[in-house]
Chains A and B, each alone.
Chain A
């Protein structure tokens, strides 16, 4: 069962979805953060909201972004991918902004958020995760361009298809 495999076997219905390959790992980590951040923000807001309202509202916002990223990566349709790019970008901007804010003005954060100190309380995973998410989503921006060139010109089609094939091979190995 553990024989080496050259490349993953694409499934028939979703040959190249955001939820296969490295996407599988991304979704696992995003789901974990979605669940834990939502639960934590829920408990904080329900039990001690007045202690650190800014921090808890930011935690709740971060939780929503993680839920959105998890769902859109799992769906993997073109629309879902666009929303995933948006949520990963918001996530990266959020972790950078809140990280800087929490270091510059610690008084605003009596209690930590997921994004405090650039996610240092979570092993900097919140900082690294959106970067890997965006890198993973970049495959499809290139793929879509290749696909469009196939349609208008038959001469370019062979080259474009070969390019697409090569991309598929190398990306899978490097991902």
Chain B
């Protein structure tokens, strides 16, 4: 399985987290830029879910199938939940929530590889 998408997600997640933390440090609120970046992260995560589902449909199975399915459901919810929760906060801590989502997306890719080593990073 090509590792381009997970690698992109890791880089995108870390860049988003860095930018969001900078916004927190500069005392900025949630911005359109942060929401757009979250949207990009969401699309990348959905692509990755699609790739894994295609692989499962091809008949291959990981050892921890239940855990993998849990990840497939939870992964796309991370940016959505972060956007919702971050927009409710009208202070510098809104972007900080987005930073958490970026870091989580990166960590999830590493965990995916541990659950099913055919998913390269």
Contact = CB atoms under 8 A, between A and B. Distances in A.
Partners in one complex: yes
Interface of A: 1-9, 20-25, 27-29, 31-32, 35-36, 39-40, 43, 47, 123, 172
Given A8-B92, A24-B85, A123-B107, 15 more contacts: A2-B23, A4-B27, A5-B27, A5-B28, A21-B89, A21-B91, A24-B88, A24-B96, A25-B96, A28-B85, A28-B97, A31-B81, A32-B100, A36-B74, A43-B70
B82 interface: yes
B66 interface: yes
B29 A1 contact: yes
Contacts of B70: 39, 43
A4 B26 contact: yes
Nearest to A44: B67
From B30, B33, B92, residue with most partner A Cβ within 10 Å = B92
Those 6 A-B pairs whose CB atoms lie nearest each other, nearest first: A8-B91, A2-B31, A24-B89, A2-B28, A25-B96, A24-B93
B100 A2 contact: no
Nearest to B26: A4
Nearest to A32: B104
A59 B50 CA distance: 31
B100 A29 contact: yes
Interface of B is mostly: helix
Interface residues of B, number: 31
A128 to B, nearest CB: 13
Contacts of A24: 85-86, 88-89, 93-94, 96-97
A24 B94 CA distance: 8
B27 A40 contact: no
Contacts of A32: 100, 104
Contacts of B33: 2
Contacts of A3: 28-29
Given A8-B90, A39-B70, A28 B82 contact: yes
B32 interface: yes
24 contacts: A1-B32, A2-B28, A2-B29, A2-B30, A3-B28, A4-B26, A4-B28, A5-B90, A9-B91, A20-B91, A21-B91, A21-B93, A23-B93, A24-B86, A24-B89, A24-B94, A25-B93, A28-B82, A28-B100, A32-B100, A35-B74, A39-B67, A40-B67, A43-B67
From B30, B67, B89, residue with most partner A Cβ within 10 Å = B89
Interface string B7-43: 0000000000000000100111111110000000000
